[in-house]
Structure 1
Amino acid sequence: MSVTSQSSGERTDRAEVELRVPADSAYASVLRTTTAGLAARLDFTIDDIEDLRIAVGEANAMVLEHADAGSDLLCRFHLAPGRMVVSVSVAAATQPVPDLDSFAWQVLTTLASEADISTADGRFAIEMTMTSSAAGF
């Protein structure tokens, strides 16, 4: 999948998708469904898609705890053959201390190939990378 840059008209080998929804758990299914659809587009296996859906759901739950009232949840997807990087973030006026012993973090780090938490610039973010088992990575 390639995207054309609007400013230069050049073709790039990256695909970026951004989803912005209210920071409310009622929108968790929208986030999980979008994630599954994008993973299917990358030919992830059914098991990989389900693992990714669960991991994104856990990331969503973790960041929503710290979201500022009335803010949005921002989810960015970077798509590459056999690989997806997902960043889930919310505005957080205070610098939250992530609970790395929580069940949600343990599940997320077990399912994702890589995972990281950042608290900078007024945002609380979790970024995870998932590689498809079918891609042989």
Structure 2
Amino acid sequence: MSQTEPHRGESESTLQGVELRMAANPTQLSIVRAVAADIAMRQDFDLDSIEDLKLAVDEACSTLIALAAPEAVLSARFVVTDGVVQVSTQVASKRSSPPDRDSFGWRVLSALVDSVTTWVAPQAGDDEYVVHIDLVKRGLVDA
């Protein structure tokens, strides 16, 4: 499932999780992949689901890095609720349009997670925008 609208629900102040902030640089991807894998393991995801989340986070962050403004900071926030991992990623960009949802990378990303959402918001007082990609990955439910 691919959407272009932000999630509605709990306010950010009521959510708890882990947030990484790093230079929007490909050399930082191994860190965010490792955190995604660790969180999925702690939720008892099976090996395939762990790898899917890790690859999806990598693809989302890689996509944002390609869109990032010079010297931008990439943010990746992980929230776990009832065996569901929600990942919210964002970066400042000079582009006012979301990532290309017709690209091969986007199709792969969409196949790896239960839902993916993207949108762009203007950054206050600047000619930059904030590009968001949010992912949801559910662990396997016992039958």
TM over 0.5: yes
1:108 paired to 2:109: yes
1:129 paired to 2:130: no
Question: Which sections of structure 1, spanning at least 5 residues, go unmatched?
Answer: 1-6
Task: Give the ranges of 4+ consecutive aligned residues of structure 1 lying more than 4 Å apart after TM superposition.
Answer: none
Partner of 2:67: 66
CA RMSD of aligned residues (A): 1.8
Q: CA deviation at 1:136?
A: 4.2
Measured in 1, the distance between the counterparts of 2:112 and 2:121 equals 25
Identity within the alignment, %: 34
Measured in 2, the distance between the counterparts of 1:102 and 1:63 equals 14
- Aligned to 1:99, the other structure's residue is in SS state coil
* Conserved? CA contact 2:85–2:136, under 8 Å: yes
- Aligned to 2:99, the other structure's residue is in SS state coil
- Summarize the alignment of residues 21-32 of structure 1 with structure 2, pairs less than 5 Å apart: 21-32=22-33
- Aligned to 1:15, the other structure's residue is in SS state coil
Higher RCO (C-alpha under 8 Å, 6+ residues apart): 2
Q: How many residues align?
A: 125
Question: Which sections of structure 2, spanning at least 5 residues, go unmatched?
Answer: 1-12, 123-128
Letter in 2 for 1:51: D
